[in-house]
Chain A
Amino acid sequence: MKVLWTALGVEPLRFQPCGNPGGERCSTELLTVLDPDQTILLIQGTPADVYLRFLSEHAGAWRFAGVHEAYIRNHPRRHQIDRSTGKPLLRISRQGVYGSGLDSEVEDWFDLTEPGFKPVFSFSVQGHEERYGLGISRSVAGTLIAGKDEINVVIDVQFSGEGHSLGSSEYSAVYRRSKGSTESSLQEAYAGLGHRSKIPPTEFEDLADLAGGPSNEDLIRYALPGLKELATGGDVEAKEWLKQFLATVDDTPEVRELKALLR
């Protein structure tokens, strides 16, 4: 039905959250936020939740400020008001990419001091990309911390190849709003937690990107310690997989080193 969306002056949503045959009955929740005073109506539906933001105006009037749709599939629905920086942020999770060997949960952040209702920051907080025998797979778990003028992100990336663990590494990054923009973008990225060893921001973005991700050659570089252990260990099956895998990738110093260890 378009009645609600017409009344609110927005385009009909991608998903119809309530009244779908076979779907659970909708339920509502009202999130009241002070300073600036507003109420967000959450409609929990199937297959998506819908958030409608209303700003409180004079004499009990309300101004509709926008709608957000959160597709729910592999992860439980989740939202929170984060006031750790002094101003209210609404953090809403939703399904990211999904498919064969692919899954992610994305968090969208909304600055509730802004007049509209568009995400100012989005990030995959957990997920995995399985490359089966054809590459290095990885699972990513992210932690997001709101700072006064920036967002600090830490990701823990676990590498594996054909079911064999190849160890894990941590990476961190800082997101800030550029001048004149309401959205935060990646400014600096580091290997590890100490902000000492800088890496190109694109490398961080690729590692966190579960829809695409780094090339196999780059993943070999990231997972080299684990791959070396595999190459020198006693697991014959794992070594055979590694030998076959290395025959499919470009020649790099890391690939040559591993081939030499396998001889």
Chain B
Amino acid sequence: MRSLGRGLCFPLGVESNNDVTVLRSTALAVAAISSLAQSIPDARNQDDLARAAKNPYDLARFIDSHLTLI
């Protein structure tokens, strides 16, 4: 990865002096941050997860339907 400063990086071999590439990379970075934010469960989800852990089928459903850090 090649750093562009402020934590943004290009995959190796991608030209950085191209506005379209810069825009695409920025969009990818925003999507990654947004995805990470979704993965942090709120308090209600945490209660649901603790309840689901009592039964393998409920737990499988919970994990399949939430992008959750476990």
**Chain A residues proximal to chain B, CB less than 8 Å:** 1, 3-4, 6-8, 16-22, 25-28, 30, 39-41, 43, 52, 54, 62, 64
Contact = CB atoms under 8 A, between A and B. Distances in A.
A4 B53 contact: yes
B59 A16 contact: no
A112 to B, nearest CB: 14
Given A7-B54, A20-B69, A28-B60, 4 more contacts: A7-B50, A19-B39, A26-B63, A64-B53
A1, A19, A20 interface centre (most CB from chain B within 10 Å)? A19
B70 A17 contact: yes
B56 interface: yes
Interface in B43-70: 46, 49-50, 53-57, 59-60, 63-64, 67-70
20 contacts: A1-B41, A1-B46, A1-B49, A3-B41, A3-B46, A3-B49, A4-B49, A4-B59, A18-B67, A19-B39, A19-B69, A21-B32, A21-B36, A27-B64, A28-B60, A39-B56, A41-B56, A41-B59, A41-B60, A52-B56
A16 B55 contact: no
Nearest to B64: A28
B35 interface: yes
Contacts of A41: 56, 59-60
Contact of A62 (B56, B60, B68): B56
A6 B50 CA distance: 8
A34 to B, nearest CB: 15
A3 B36 contact: no
Given A1-B46, A16-B69, A19-B69, A30 B53 contact: no
Interface of B: 32, 35-36, 39, 41, 46, 49-50, 53-57, 59-60, 63-64, 67-70
Given A18-B63, A43-B63, A7 B53 contact: yes
A253 B53 CA distance: 63
B52 to A, nearest CB: 8
Contacts of B41: 1, 3
Contact of A1 (B36, B55, B69): B69
B70 A19 contact: yes
Nearest to A5: B70
Contacts of A8: 53
